[in-house]
Structure 1
Amino acid sequence: MGPYSLDFRQKVVTAYKLGKGSIRQLAEQFMLSPATVHSYIKQYRETQELTPKKPGRKRPGKLEAYRDFIVKMVKSHPDWTVRQYREHLLNEQDVYVSLGGICEFLQKEGLTLKKTYQAEKVATEAGQQQRVDYRKRVQDVPQEKLIFIDETAFWVGMIREMARSEKGQKAFDLRPFYKGRKMTLIGAISMRGVVAKKAITGSMKGEDFLDFVANDLVPQINPGDVVVMDNLNIHKMSGVAEMIAESGSYSRVFTTLLTRIQSN
């Protein structure tokens, strides 16, 4: 919190000069500490003005001297709890700090709480090679010609997991027992925006994807477009690549056996 305004300080001192109360009474009236009221009066007597003093240099925190150690610790163990960080700091550096102190330091250093998952296959040598092969296949394709297909599922009764509230107040909500019916959303996007989309009740089946390609995707793609899909088995069904090829586009499935369908 910054210093009180000059106008507020003048009101406090004026009230004291007019005899409207003792230092303790004025402190209670203006919701200040008696020491603060006394400092205003003393400043005015000595300088005849009440301009807030410039704040002094902030003393470095207790953990500043251990910044490099803490940053290295977080990078080495990104999914540790705050309690584990505190214990490791105590064991290795003989420094005790509260859990709140650790949290404040991590936030100040921009070491925020987050986590992104990747499939284990991505980290394998074969998985990395597939990614290299994919980049080689599309590196000469104009970006505006790339169309990406993906799917996601959700329940209509899903609720948001996070909410905001005033400090010190919890954000309550009711979690529905029944999440509602399941929906699947298929989408195709490119640099020009959403190319095609389709909502399906329940899980996506092979005939659902074939219908999406035939009736939603193919009418929207142009000759020379490159349709990119992941390694989902439905994407490799018989008929998918052929329908895309008939429109004059290419179909590429992101897998070891990348398939390129030439247009007629």
Structure 2
Amino acid sequence: MPRSIWKGAISFGLVTIPVKLYSATEEKDISFRQVHAEDGGRIKYKRVCELDGEEVPYGDIAKGYEMADGRMVVLDKEDMDQLPLATTKSVEVVQFVDSDEVDPAYFSKSYFLQADGPGVKPYVLLRDALTKSEQCAVVKVALRSREALALIRPKDGVLVMHTMLWPDELRDGSFAAPPDSVTVSDAEVTMAQSFIDALSGDFAPEDFTDSYREAVEALVQSKAEGVAPPEETEAPKEAEVVDLVAALRASVDAAKKRREAAAQAKTG
């Protein structure tokens, strides 16, 4: 069982729900060390003060905020602990919304909420009420020295909390929009819809794997064993197609063949 990273309480009106917080995700990326290419020795970094040139112990490092005029304001742990935040040890429910009202671009990280001690019954109450009303709770919470908006929703019998970015942390993407002068024909849209239909289905995350990570792991294993690395799989060559409709028609045919091959592989 993973270790909880935070303990506090959900304020659900006048009801208090003691909870523990657990990370709901773990990245499976390949982890590399920086090493000297000639002998494989690890590269080490030292924390050195630019003023006196001396190495600084981790315990002597504080947070520094540089003002516009160049002055440095130093904040230590005691300063940060004294911040007047009501959300430091509580999750304050501020609103209830439909889940589809929240743009997924706001989501940052996901956590499991577990009832702590006497919080089991009020936890079940909030979970079941959210489920029956088909609502999610918008909350404010302080995690890792910063306050965040978050969304709490029931999933598989557990309350899951998704921390969210603040509105001013989302960039304006209007610059990426194509010019209004660029249009497509009805035939092109219809063929694009056919391609979408050919690949439509129920989302099954277990059907997808990280091919890059698998390839790197195979490469590392082969070098560790002193054998030749796996041969590179040659990607199928496709003829250049200028006509969008023709390109989409070929895409539909290829998608159907891939789906048929996948279905045959599953059945065996």
TM-score normalised by structure 1 residue count: 0.21
TM normalised by structure 2 equals: 0.21
Return the index of the structure with the highest Cα Rg: 1
- Could you say which structure has the higher helix fraction? 1
| Structure with the larger RCO, 1 or 2 (CA within 8 Å, 6+ apart) | 2
